[in-house]
Amino acid sequence: MASYDQTDDRQSGVSLFGSKGGSSSRPALEWAQGDDGYLLRIFGDWQVRHVRGIAKEIKKLKCGTPGTGPKGLTVDMAGLSGLDTAGAMLILDMNELLKSKGFIPEIVNAREADQILFELISRHPRERGDTEVKSSMVLDLVRDLGETVLSIGRDIIEITAMIGQVTLSLLGLIIRPWRLRFTSLVHHMEHAGLKAVSIISLICFLIGAVIMQQSVEQLRAYSAEYFSIDMLGILALREVGVLLTSIMIAGRSGAAFTAEIGSMKMREEVDAMRALGIDPVETLIVPRVLALVIALPLLTFIGNIMCLAGGAFIAYQVMNIDLQSFVERLNDGVDIRHFYVGLIKTPFVALIIGIVGTLEGMRVQGSAESLGTHVRASVVKSIFLVIILDAAFAMALTAMGI
């Protein structure tokens, strides 16, 4: 590519790129310099299908200074065979580049239609993709905060709408119970409930053992080791059992719901169901949500028992307290209301996990990347909402003296 360098010798017919002697449809420029000044001839078809390659060349164009002062430059468009918006924008960008180097370009021999197009583009400022936007940490923080707030608002609206749809479907099933897909319900209860017993039992047993061990170590300085049993019982029944179970179910079953429905969305099976007159909410979402609402209280009960079992194991190992003495102390120090407080949260938590998991599945588009994104979003949002809901229940019930 030739550059616009000022020399003492007269130049004529220097091709910058393209060639007027080549294909008539190929855009080309020709630079000439004579006694009367500078001349830039434009040839070919400057339309979007031809100018994509030249756009990069225009940006890379190296222009020298025309001399000690501004110099006139005639842009001759007599050889132009075609022009559209993309080509006109490119020619105007080239003129701006020449102006920045000290030239004063003047377009001549342009058709009336081309002149009108140049005027229309000049009236409307354009956003240039190559403009560097200065950013700062504060602006980035404000932008991210705004996007997060908008995303939370959209999620609240869509979750509320999905709860409404599920509620209407459940009311319809009460009126017409034969429409309930019992086989699907039992299937999801098995996968979300029965097959999760082992992992939930192990996790709750270990956490119960850790809580008991740490409680004993901290209370030993005050000779109050026996109160660690009371602490374990209250924590396990009110908070730890339901939280651990819910988080495990959110990561296990909630993600599975998103992946299953998302895969169906990718294969357009959900659209096919709608075309056949089958309600996806009643068919896909309601059985999964009902399965969690039924299974999660049972899993929470098992988790509570395993937490206490882990504490009993440590009590025997560290404090030499046998199982009978542990149960008697637990019965004396922990009221049954703590068990009910933990258990009453489970249907609401199950509803949140089921709604978020299925909703994210329905949001999946036709790509594997979209599926992965929504599976991740399902797990994060479910766990976040579970913790928020548990905290709200805990503060409200404690304020009421329960």
What's the CATH code of the domain at 24? 3.30.750.24
The reply to whether 139 falls in a domain is: no
Q: Is 200's pLDDT higher than 90? A: yes
108 and 173 in a single domain? The answer is no
Sheet holding 28-34, edge to edge: 14-17, 28-34, 37-46, 71-83, 103-108
Q: Is 89's pLDDT higher than 90? A: no
Nearest to 93 by CA among 120, 65, 118, 68: 118
- For 82, list phi and psi in degrees, rounded to 5: -165, 145
| Phi-psi domain of 57 (left: phi exceeds 0; alpha: psi -120 through 50; beta: other) | alpha
Query: Confidence class of residue 8 from pLDDT cuts 50, 70 and 90?
Result: very low
- For 380, list phi and psi in degrees, rounded to 5: -65, -50
Question: Which range has the worst mean pLDDT, 129-133, 143-147, 340-344, 393-397?
Answer: 129-133
The reply to whether 1 falls in a domain is: no
- pLDDT at residue 331, rounded to an integer: 87
Question: Which range has the worst mean pLDDT, 26-35, 52-61, 195-204?
Answer: 52-61
- For 67, list phi and psi in degrees, rounded to 5: 145, -155
- pLDDT at residue 296, rounded to an integer: 93
- pLDDT at residue 209, rounded to an integer: 92
Percent of the chain, pLDDT > 70? 84
212 and 335 in a single domain? The answer is yes
What percentage of the chain's residues is helix, strand, coil (to nearest 5)? 70, 10, 20
DSSP string, 199-228: HHHHHHHHHHHHHHHHHHHHHGGGT-TTHH
The reply to whether 134 falls in a domain is: no
Burial label for 121, CB within 10 Å (0-12, 13-18, 19+), is middle
311 and 210 in a single domain? The answer is yes
Token reading at 141: 């923080």
Distance CA 98, CA 81 (A): 23
The reply to whether 185 falls in a domain is: yes
Question: Which range has the worst mean pLDDT, 52-56, 108-112, 381-385?
Answer: 52-56
The reply to whether 213 falls in a domain is: yes
Domain that holds residue 246: 144-399
Distance CA 141, CA 206 (A): 40
The reply to whether 307 falls in a domain is: yes
The reply to whether 130 falls in a domain is: no
Run of H or E including 72: strand 71-83
The pTM of the full predicted model, rounded to 2 decimals, is: 0.64
- pLDDT at residue 68, rounded to an integer: 46
119 and 206 in a single domain? The answer is no
258 and 304 in a single domain? The answer is yes
The reply to whether 277 falls in a domain is: yes
Dihedral, 386, 389, 391, 396 alpha carbons, nearest 10: -160
What average pLDDT is seen over the chain? 82
387 and 262 in a single domain? The answer is yes
Distance CA 246, CA 244 (A): 6
- pLDDT at residue 22, rounded to an integer: 45
For the chain, the straight-line distance linking the first and the last C-alpha, in angstroms and rounded, comes to: 82
Number of other CB atoms surrounding residue 89 within 10 Å? 19
| Phi-psi domain of 84 (left: phi exceeds 0; alpha: psi -120 through 50; beta: other) | beta
Q: How many domains does the chain have?
A: 2
Query: Confidence class of residue 7 from pLDDT cuts 50, 70 and 90?
Result: very low
Q: Is 25's pLDDT higher than 80? A: no
Nearest to 89 by CA among 31, 47, 49: 47
Query: Confidence class of residue 399 from pLDDT cuts 50, 70 and 90?
Result: confident
Structural domain ending residue among the three candidates 123, 156, 181: 123
Average pLDDT over residues 150-173: 89
230 and 279 in a single domain? The answer is yes
Q: Is 19's pLDDT higher than 70? A: no
Q: Which residues pair with 32 in a beta bridge?
A: 39
Average pLDDT over residues 265-283: 88
Percent of the chain, pLDDT > 90? 25
186 and 322 in a single domain? The answer is yes
Distance CA 94, CA 322 (A): 89
